[in-house]
Structure formats: C-alpha cells, structure tokens
C-alpha cells in the first residue's frame, strides 16, 4: 500500500486530501466500510475531545455533490 495525505487549511475543522494505492482492487463499499469503521488510540482512550468516528466528523463518508463543507458538517455525529 502507498498513501499520501495533505492537510487542507479550512476555517472550521480539518480536511485531508487522501490518495491511496492498493495492492489489489477494492470495491467502493469495502472502502466506505473501512473509512466508516476506522478508529485509533484516541477512540480507545475516550477523551472528551475525541469523536467516536474520526473520519467525516463522526458522520462518515459523504456522497452529496455539495460536499465537503466543514462549516456545515463540523457538528455531524455530535451528541
């Protein structure tokens, strides 16, 4: 696997432009599931600042043609 990630400066939240090359072909649904189910150490430690789902502001992968919009989606998944 080869991966690149570029942090994109936005007013609200963070965005990343991610390019991933996989050793074998993957179905879009498999990639969506991988992003939607991703967790890391902050989710295991459960500090109040860590979202339960770190990708997509807790809202997961978005398909709308007018996305991404961090200012509108920054509270997605908030309790």
pLDDT in tens, 24-76: 999 988 888 888 888 899 999 999 888 787 776 555 677 788 887 777 777 76
pLDDT in tens, 8-20: 667 776 666 677 7
Are the beta carbons of 57 and 38 closer than 8 angstroms? no
Written as six digits, the tokens of 69 are 């919009």
Reported pTM: 0.59
């Amino acid at each position: 696997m080869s991966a690149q990630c570029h942090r994109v400066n936005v007013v609200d939240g963070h965005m990343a432009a991610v390019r991933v090359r996989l050793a074998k072909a993957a179905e879009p649904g498999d990639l969506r599931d991988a992003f939607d189910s991703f967790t890391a150490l902050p989710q295991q430690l459960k500090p109040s600042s860590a979202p339960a789902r770190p990708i997509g502001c807790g809202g997961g992968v978005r398909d709308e043609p007018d996305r991404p919009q961090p200012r509108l989606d920054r509270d997605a998944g908030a309790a």
